[in-house]
Structure 1
Amino acid sequence: MTTSFEALLPGTERALLHRVAVAQAEGRAPSFVGAVVRDGALVWSGSRSCVDGHAPDADTQYRIGSITKVFTAVLVMRLRDEGLLDLDDPLERHLKDTGVGEVTIAQLLAHSGGLAAETPGQWWERSSAALRPELSDVLGESPSLQTPGRRFHYSNPGYTLLGSLVEAVRGVGWEEALRREILDPLGMDRTTLDPVAPRAGGFAVHPWADVMMAEPSEDLGLMAPAGQLWSTAADLARFAAFLAAGDDRVLSAASVAEMRAPASPAGEGDWEGSYGLGLQLLRRDGRTLVGHTGSLPGFVACLWVSVDDGLAGIALANATSGPAPAVVAADLVRIVAEAEPRFPEPWRPLPADEVDADLLALTGPWYWGTYAYGLRLGPERSLVMEPLRGPGRRASFRVLPEGGWVGLNGYYAGETLRAVRRPDGSVSHLDLGSFVFTREPYEPGDAVPGGVSEDGWRGL
């Protein structure tokens, strides 16, 4: 099945279907669905099945496990944007008597709150929610294992707390908030708490024999915000478009970008990936992927978005283990990105009202000591500074209403850039977080901290 205003090339589609076929065969999955989103639209989906003549499509439901956590995180970010809480608030300011101390909402979103990975007692994914009727049953007597904020440690109970936080602050159930605030606005009517046909059955495949067994499908109860949802490739394509660009009906582009930024210290050996505010981050094939993996007995899933490529890959399978959806979803993105690279936007001059003589006078070469930098004018009176030769710190700056610019990334994130003027109004130098940038390297008479040697430049 292919739906798009601009279909993929036949060779690309064959390569994608081949990747899904290999994943289903080598992963020994009863069925496997893959899909690709390009520039916000579902452009390809394909599947393979162990049943001849019958295969799932982009409208077939699979359980998506921990991809559910991203939806919970979006609900929390909406509360923040409405001013109902702050991410740095201790959870217990809004949800009393949890026993997690000063753990903040941001730390729970980023899995850096130091909470246990799983619930006490029976394996929650394969046991009745009736065993965990209260938060105390989810958290146990000692929910904290590590000092909050020190390192990434994945915590399923942490997202149960966030779901309960949504209910406490919003005043409605997590499911109602999810449907009303995310699923309905994005048109995700095939994403549900309980399965709705057509849907795949979940299976365990024997590790040493080609036989399989049906897996139970439990209602997760209080753990639902950590992994309850069922969805389809088509619905996840809509969600992928939202994660790439935001949607003001749900969450602004700026807030979604905040979710995509690293927010948790990496654990030992985890340097290829990180975690944002509810989103997994991965560096693979030279690109940054954001999204989430998911698994519950009988199912594995993954959604990866490459914002820079305008692409997303989706992989869904109905086997407890074997398929590698995180690898396959990344490969689907790579196949399209390499076969059909994104066209750049046409170059266009800046609007006339964004350019004036004073701004143009700031552009060009500047020197921090002997490091050479170029300052370039961007849209909406923004600035970009980048090294002209050798190593250096690249940074983008947004104009401030009160004057000057604020750094948006890298070393200078949050730092202020100012043009310091002489009494006659000409620019003496740039001040960037106390660093002085001059038009010439160590020019006598310039505002160089510590002064300039009277001997000037000389040879040996």
Structure 2
Amino acid sequence: MPPTGEATAACERVIRTLQAEERVPAVAAAVVRSDRPGWSFALGDAGAGTPAGPATQFRIGSVTKTFTAVLVLQLRDSGMLDLDDQIDAHLALPAHGQLTIRSILNHTSGLQREPWGNLWDTLDVPDDTRLLEEVAKAEAVLSPRRRWHYSNLGFALLGHLVSAKTGAAWAEVLQDRLLDPLGLSDTTVLPRGDAAQGYLVDAYSDHARPEPHFDLRGAAAAAQLWSTAGDMARWALFLAKPDPAVVARSTLEEMYEPVVVTDPVNWHTGWGLGLQVAPQGSGSDRAVDIGHNGAMPGFLAGVWCRRGVEIGAAVLGSSGTAAGITSAPHKLIAESLRLDPVRVEPWTIGGPAPREYAGILGRWWSEGSEFVFRWTKGHLEARSASAVAAAPPAIFAFEAPDLFRTVSGREAGERLEVFRGPDGAVDYMRWATYRFTRDQQTYA
């Protein structure tokens, strides 16, 4: 089913407004969904009078980190490392080897933001050997796990970790494990000849000065890649709906989980394992977008999906000052879903709950709050009666007679124990040690 004309017109208006109001020389956008054909749009001058189009490459900056993070999780899934390992268990470093892989992925390592030196002032970018040698000069600016502190140096080291574990360069591993399997042929380490020129747009005139394009060399795993809006929207859809031959859904869901917030006052963005987590809306309309923004001289990028919905959006622009580029993907997702809602899948008849556990189903109370337990799609699940629609249920797996384990959602990892009366009927339950009863009860 094609996207509705109303939705495509609304999405196009978002990009036209962005380009005109924030004076972006060239901008490209795309939305892809699993339930209908995608949408794409490009506008502006990509350089030397060349119109921007669907094939125009832009630099995506730190969106590169999402690829590096998935590569690290692939290595973890294959048993080559553990996220709580110290990085020097796998990569020889002259300093900071005690930092865990997990803390680097979620930017809580405390490592300084950039490689040693004044890279962004001098554009003197270290090669692989020099970057690793100069780690000895880098500072631990915070204690590990003290708070969120963004570190390009940390992700550069993760790229070297990938190389050390596979015996191949980060770029080769990226190509073999992600770009080729996912068909992302427009995503490259170096720009093609027709790539967009990046600009600094003057604040008080219509003049735009070209920014230099340069190779990040030893820090490539942090921000090197170039891509098109179409490829990045497909990558965003992959983050929402992974190919199990590339990475397990459970692994990506692990990457989604926010473990730290970026702003201790506003709490507008959280950070998982290499992925940003951005709440959208409020109340019953609450949703969560997953993805990453990127910036390099002359370029900004936003690449996002919506958790629980098979949709991805990307907006890439050739201005380093148009902040609306990074908020535009969220607007595209919202407009696409509002004006062209997800197809409602028909409910189908399923099997009954196992007879011995039919007594679990229905409404229960704990701590004065109401929960609903259901048997659906072959498993037991539970939701708070007050949960917003977008909140995932807790899902349980059978572990032993009258014992379940929470495998995802609320209280993940905790036990659900079933207690029966003399007649064998379910009397009460304990979930994460809290008593669940059929009516409201005090702790007494």
TM > 0.5 fold call: yes
Q: TM-score if structure 2 supplies the norm length?
A: 0.91
Query: Percent of counterpart pairs with the same letter?
Result: 32
Name the SS of the counterpart of 2:181 in structure 1.
Answer: helix
Structure 2 match to 1:456: none
Q: What is the CA distance between 1:272 and its match in structure 2?
A: 1.3
Report the AA paired with residue 366 of structure 2.
W
> Matched residues in 2 for 1:406 and 1:122: separation?
51
Q: 1: distance between equivalents of 2:406 and 2:262?
A: 24
Query: Residue 146 of structure 1 is aligned with which of 142, 148, 156?
Result: 142
Q: 1:230 to 1:378 in 2, by over 3 A?
A: same
1:356 shift after superposition: 2.4
CA distance in 1, matches of 2:15, 2:261: 33
2:230 equivalent to 1:231: no
Distance 2:414 2:264 in 1: 30
Who is 1:282 aligned against? 278
Q: What residue is the counterpart of 1:319 in the other structure?
A: 319
Q: Which residue of 2 aligns with 1:419?
A: 418
* Counterparts in 2 of 1:324 and 1:138: CA distance versus 1, 3 Å: farther
Letter of the 1:73 counterpart? A
- In structure 2, runs of 5+ residues without a counterpart are none
> 1:235 Cα deviation (Å)?
1.2
2: distance between equivalents of 1:41 and 1:66? 29
Give the secondary structure class of the aligned counterpart of 1:439. Answer: coil
1:359 maps to amino acid: Y
State how far apart, in whole Å, the 1-side matches of 2:304 and 2:367 are: 42
Of the structure 1 ranges 369-378 and 12-21, higher mean CA displacement relative to structure 2 is found in: 369-378
1:187 counterpart letter in structure 2: G
- The structural deviation recorded for 1:309 is 3.6
Between stretches 6-15 and 24-33, larger displacement belongs to: 6-15
Query: How far off its partner does 1:439 sit?
Result: 3.1
CA distance in 2, matches of 1:185, 1:306: 23
Aligned to 2:337: 337
Shift of 1:98: 4.0
Deviation at 1:125, TM superposition (A): 8.2
Bigger mean CA deviation after superposition, 338-347 or 288-297: 338-347
Deviation at 1:331, TM superposition (A): 0.9
Q: CA deviation at 1:81?
A: 0.2
Aligned CA distance change for structure 1 residues 132 and 75 (closer, same or farther; 3 Å): closer
Give the partner amino acid of 1:71: F
**Equivalent residue in structure 2 for 1:67, among 63, 67, 70:** 63
**Farther-moved stretch of structure 1 (303-312 vs 128-137):** 128-137
In structure 2, the partner of 1:458 is: none
- Name whichever of 63-72 and 101-110 sits farther off: 101-110
Alignment correspondent of 1:78? 74
1:12 alignment counterpart: 7
For the residue of structure 1 that corresponds to 2:239, the secondary structure is helix
Q: Partner letter of residue 417 of structure 2?
A: R
CA contact (8 A) 2:7 2:339 kept: yes
- 1:328 positional shift: 1.1
SS of the aligned residue for 1:78 comes to helix
1:333, distance to aligned residue in structure 2 (A)? 0.9
Q: 1:378 to 1:288 in 2, by over 3 A?
A: same
For residues 114 and 305 of structure 2, the distance between their equivalents in structure 1, rounded to whole angstroms, comes to 27
Structure 1 residues 131 and 209 mapped into 2: Cα distance closer, same or farther (>3 Å)? farther
| Aligned equivalents of 1:46, 1:197: Cα separation in 2 | 21
SS at match of 2:378: helix
1:453 is matched with none
**1:211 maps to what in 2?**
207
Q: 1:25 to 1:116 in 2, by over 3 A?
A: same
Counterpart-to-counterpart distance in 2, 1:33 and 1:200: 10
**What's the RMSD between the two structures over aligned residues?**
2.5
Q: Give 1:24's aligned amino acid.
A: Q
Partner residue, 2:242: 246
Instruction: Please say which structure displays the higher CA radius of gyration.
Output: 1
Residues 33 and 45 in structure 1, CA contact (< 8 A), matched pair in contact too = yes
- In structure 2, the partner of 1:159 is 155
Deviations 1:94-141 (A, max 9, x none): 112341142111110101111111223223486143477423455352
Contact persistence 1:126–1:217 (CA under 8 A): no
What's 2:176 paired with?
180
Q: In the TM superposition, what is the alpha-carbon distance from 1:412 to its structure 2 partner? A: 2.1
Deviations 1:314-340 (A, max 9, x none): 101111212521111111111112112
Q: Structure 1: which amino acid aligns with 2:336?
A: V
> For residue 430 of structure 2, what is the aligned residue in structure 1?
431
Q: Give the equivalent residue in structure 2 for 1:301.
A: 301
Q: Distance in 2 between matches of 1:166 and 1:153?
A: 22
SS at match of 1:201: coil
Matches of 2:45 and 2:126, distance apart in 1? 35
1:384-399 equivalence runs, <5 A: 384-387=382-385, 396-399=394-397
What residue number does 2:17 align with?
22
Cα gap change, 1:78/1:98 in structure 2, threshold over 3 Å: closer, same or farther? farther
